[in-house]
Amino acid sequence: MGGEIIQGQIISYTEMTALVGVSLQQGMNFRLPGGPVLLMSRRPNAPYDDQIEDEGRVLIYEGHDCPTTSSCPDPKKVDQPRNNLGGSLTQNGLFAEAAEHHKSQGVRPVQVRVFEKIRPGIWAFNGVFDLVDSWVADSNGRKVFKFKLQLNHWNAGLVASDPSLTEEDDRIIPGWVKFEVWKRDHGRCRKCGAHNGLHFDHIIPYSKGGSSKSPENIQILCAKHNLEKHDKID
């Protein structure tokens, strides 16, 4: 599925597009050479209702609206489309079809890389997720697609393969926490001020009772200091 990146790593938009091999112009990207990619946001006024459940092990991702055109002047007032006007599947349809194949035929779930927007031009890698379900839900009088994704812990080359990691270490830091930490640490390593190769780090690790839900327990470290710290408490 492409180059190597560790869950929680912070990258620029340019780095993200270089990693996936294409310039990403939309949030849902099923047919990419390295596998599907979803871009999510839980920032204030985000256009879609993306949710994080089960302490970050599960994502509920909302499908996307039709583009604004003369035939669709107000996308938020019409059902999200499964098919394009010519009959081909939209991104909603492609992801839904893959989830349906997994559920109905028992095929291996499609693996999806998920990136979360922290601020314009800055993204965090949330991990590799298995696409396990999809459905259509009512939302303010219209139909929207919902997709359920479950964290895949040991995807080779994309999630850290350190054997000391457990399920507890793979939980996602909520978007609002990432945003607050990014502002507090000014987008730099808290140890040396570096602004490249950054990661969100738990000051108190999960294994020692640390939480993902408090900005006070999260800091930004560069790759060097993140590796040196590992599971130690500062």
Whether the CA torsion 173, 129, 42, 139 is positive or negative: it is: negative
181 within some domain = no
Task: Give the per-residue pLDDT at 173.
Answer: 80
Task: Give the per-residue pLDDT at 152.
Answer: 86
Q: For residue 82, how many C-alpha atoms fall within 13 Å in the half-sphere facing its CB? A: 10
Task: Give the per-residue pLDDT at 230.
Answer: 62
37-40 and 198-202 as β-strands: parallel, antiparallel, unpaired?
Answer: unpaired
DSSP, res 83: B
pLDDT tens series, the chain, 234 aa: 445 688 888 999 999 999 999 999 899 999 998 899 999 998 888 999 999 888 778 999 999 999 999 989 999 999 999 999 899 999 999 999 999 999 999 899 999 999 999 888 999 998 899 999 999 999 999 999 999 999 886 553 344 433 333 444 446 787 778 878 988 998 899 999 998 889 899 898 867 888 888 899 999 999 888 888 765 555
CATH of the domain at 142: 2.30.280
226 within some domain = no
How far apart are the C-alpha atoms of 197 and 221, rounded to whole Å? 8
107 within some domain = yes
Task: Give the per-residue pLDDT at 165.
Answer: 39
Task: Give the per-residue pLDDT at 221.
Answer: 93
6 within some domain = no
Task: Give the per-residue pLDDT at 142.
Answer: 97
User: What phi and psi values does residue 62 have, to the nearest 5 degrees?
Assistant: -85, 140
210 within some domain = no
Which of helix, strand or coil describes residue 31?
coil
Residue numbers of the domain that contains 30: 23-166
How far apart are the C-alpha atoms of 203 and 219, rounded to whole Å? 7
221 within some domain = no
How far apart are the C-alpha atoms of 53 and 141, rounded to whole Å? 25
Instruction: With CA atoms as reference, report the closest residue to 118 among 233, 218, 227.
Output: 218
Task: Give the per-residue pLDDT at 88.
Answer: 97
Q: How many domains does the chain have?
A: 1
148 within some domain = yes
2 within some domain = no
Task: Give the per-residue pLDDT at 231.
Answer: 53
